[in-house]
Amino acid sequence: MTQSNTQQVTNEATAPTHVNGVNLDTLKGTVNAIHEDPGLGVCHFRATNQWVDGAHNRSTVTGFYGAKQEIAHKQTFQMVADEPAILAGNDDGANPVEHLLHALASCITTSMVAHAAVRGIDIEEMESELEGDIDLNGFLGLNSETPKGFTRIRANYRVKAAAEDMETIKSLASFSPVMNTLVSGVPVEVSVTPK
Amino acid sequence: MTQSNTQQVTNEATAPTHVNGVNLDTLKGTVNAIHEDPGLGVCHFRATNQWVDGAHNRSTVTGFYGAKQEIAHKQTFQMVADEPAILAGNDDGANPVEHLLHALASCITTSMVAHAAVRGIDIEEMESELEGDIDLNGFLGLNSETPKGFTRIRANYRVKAAAEDMETIKSLASFSPVMNTLVSGVPVEVSVTPK
């Protein structure tokens, strides 16, 4: 009996519950639930934004819809945007395109870390530098043929992990929702109503 | 001589230097400089990201390249991303796709406010709610045919301004760099090197 219990403990210790800081029991629970009922995967993510003044505005995130229910974040998140002086702002926050680069960096990072965890791939350290190209002739309306958005983004990751896992880790970036949104494009519907 | 000086002051007072909190002298200075030398419009925006643990990571923004020079922000900006419990995170920050919605909300807001200012259109108040649809069957790899990113984003603005300006204000969203990036898509190059 004692031996049996000891064996059981050893088995649990053999199957780690955390890899790369990701709780695999929780993640696999979500995966299994959506596998059994695909409708649980439908999510609506949300942000509200309040214009403050000039280029200064503030977004608030409180919760989202997923798993067929409204889910509140455990706290309210606020993000501030502004523009540097050259773009007539007060430089009191990163600007919108810099926030976009943060969204992309954080999403690729999380996607590689989580999907590596599920595959049992240990990652010790990960950092990245992102850079995107914009020609202000577009945004400022000086040349109608100049694209107004990013024309190219480079995301350079440095990862401390086993050499044989590097190619797999890189391939996992392909799961990133933000990267897929940016590469494929997405319809954006804008409405303006009187306040 | 005194009359001439007075006249000059009156003219300056007639042309407002700030509309919607936007410093028009600064903005028009940038526009004129790029109009005369289009190469000044080339910008490289940047963010670095540091993985912390699990779904928790942090981006840092310190400056950018524009107007043919490196430009430092007046302070360092940090943005934190995490995931809610259902996605195996600790919910210590908005998640990457929520940061993407913030980037879009802030960019449309700033684009409408700034381009309205240049046109002499006063905006008293502006707020917005953004919502985007994602099916986690894609990100989790449960269905290879399900898109992994946002499939649709709605951006609903409420604006306090003159009724006759509403349609123009809405049309100015089309200048937004983040919206144009999302709608048109952008190539993203990912590299992974050992740390």
**Averaged over A127-137, what is the pLDDT?**
98
Comparison of pLDDT for A115 and A12, the residue scoring more = A115
- Between positions 141 and 180 of A, the ones with CB within 8 A of B are 141-143, 146-161, 163, 166, 169-170, 173-180
Residue B18 has pLDDT above 90, yes or no: yes
Distance separating alpha carbons of residues B46 and B63, to the nearest angstrom: 7
Distance separating alpha carbons of residues A55 and B20, to the nearest angstrom: 9
Q: What is the DSSP letter of B172?
A: G
The pLDDT tens digits of the residues spanning A164-188 come to: 999 999 999 999 999 999 999 999 9
Whether A134 sits inside 8 A of B177 (CB atoms) is yes
Q: What is the DSSP letter of B158?
A: E
**Averaged over B169-186, what is the pLDDT?**
98
The pLDDT tens digits of the residues spanning B51-108 come to: 999 999 999 999 999 999 999 999 999 999 999 999 999 999 999 999 999 999 999 9
Residue B149 has pLDDT above 70, yes or no: yes
Q: Is the CB of B76 inside 8 Å of chain A's CB atoms?
A: no
Residue of A nearest to B72 (CA): A84
Q: Is the CB of A108 inside 8 Å of chain B's CB atoms?
A: yes
Q: Compute φ and ψ for B67, nearest 5 degrees.
A: 50, 35
> Sorting pLDDT into bands at 50, 70 and 90, what band is B15?
confident
Q: Locate A3 and state its tokens.
A: 């031996």
Whether A43 sits inside 8 A of B176 (CB atoms) is no
Residue A170 CB partners (closer than 8 Å, separation 6+): A112, A157, B190, B191, B192
**Averaged over B124-148, what is the pLDDT?**
98
Number of cross-chain residue pairs from A and B with Cβ atoms under 8 Å apart: 491
Whether B49 sits inside 8 A of A105 (CB atoms) is yes
Q: Is the CB of A121 inside 8 Å of chain B's CB atoms?
A: no
Residue of A nearest to B157 (CA): A192
pTM of this structure:
0.93
> Sorting pLDDT into bands at 50, 70 and 90, what band is A195?
very high
Distance separating alpha carbons of residues B60 and B78, to the nearest angstrom: 5
**Averaged over B130-149, what is the pLDDT?**
98
pLDDT at position A7:
42
Mean of the per-residue pLDDT values for chain A? 93
- Chain A partners within 8 Å of B181 (Cβ): 97, 100, 149-150, 182
Q: Locate B186 and state its tokens.
A: 């952008």
Residues in a beta bridge with A132: A153, B45
In percent, how much of chain A has pLDDT > 70? 93
